[in-house]
A and B are shown apart, each in its own frame.
Chain A
Amino acid sequence: MDTRQIDTVIEKYGANPSETIGILMDVQEKESYLPKEVLEHISNKLGVPVTHLYRIATFYEALSLKPTGRHQIHVCMGTACHVRGAQKILDKLERDLGIKAGETTPDLEIGLKTVNCVGACALGPLAVLDGEYHGSINTTKANKLLKKLGRKVEETEETETE
Chain B
Amino acid sequence: MVTITIDGKQIKTEEGQNVLQVALDNGINIPHLCYHENLSFYGGCRLCLVEVTKANRTRLTASCTYPALEGITVETNTENVKKARRLVMEMILPMAPDSPKLQALASELGITEPRFHYEDPDGCINCGLCVRACEELVSANAITLANRGDTRSIEPPFQEEPLACIGCAACLYVCPTDCIKMEEKGNERRIVRWERKLEMKTCANCKRHFMPLAQIEFAMHKVREPLDAGWFDNCPDCR
Contacts and interface: CB of A to CB of B under 8 A. Distances in A.
Direct contact of A and B (CB under 8 A): yes
A36 B143 CA distance: 15
Interface stretch (B77-85, B144-152, B208-216, B230-238): B144-152
A65 B147 CA distance: 12
A95 interface: no
Nearest to B139: A49
B89 interface: no
Contacts of B142: 51
A52 B148 contact: no
A129 to B, nearest CB: 27
Interface stretch (A20-28, A53-61, A118-126): A53-61
B146 A58 contact: yes
A59 B147 contact: yes
A39 B160 CA distance: 14
Contacts of A55: 144-146
Nearest to A36: B158
Interface string B41-74: 0000000000000000000000000000000000
B135 interface: yes
Contacts of A51: 135, 141-144, 157, 164
Interface of A: 36, 39, 49-55, 58-59, 65
Interface of B: 135, 141-148, 157-158, 160, 164
6 contacts: A36-B157, A51-B135, A51-B142, A53-B157, A54-B146, A55-B146
